[in-house]
Amino acid sequence: MKANKTGIDRIIHATFNSMRGIRLAWKSEAAFRQEALLCLILVPIALVIDATLIERLVLILTLFILVITELLNSAIEAVVDRVGPELHELSGRAKDIASAAVFFALVLMGVVWGLILIY
């Protein structure tokens, strides 16, 4: 994006960049596709189950946290892979830590969904 873009023009270009990022993640990241499909199943469930508005919002929030974390994980992996294919301790650390973030997002989602659905 050019530095001289401001206001609504900047927002429009940023939106197109974001949509391109979503398309690229869908095309190249199996985990993103799986989690997006999981969201397509769970969001409607969150909207129809017997739950309060706040519980529904929390259920949906955990899904967004998962997708956001997966996108950041994929971005970190892409940057590390861009730097070079050789094994390096810091590259492995970056990928493993990003993967751990996705793991915690999945655990959060599982715990929240489990507790709300049980109680």
CA distance 9 to 15: 10
CA distance 50 to 77: 39
Residue in 94, 55, 57, 89 with CA at minimum distance from that of residue 74: 94
Is 70 an active-site residue?
yes
CA distance 95 to 98: 5
**Marked catalytic residue, from 29, 55, 70, 89:** 70
CA distance 18 to 12: 10
* Catalytic sites, residue numbers: 70
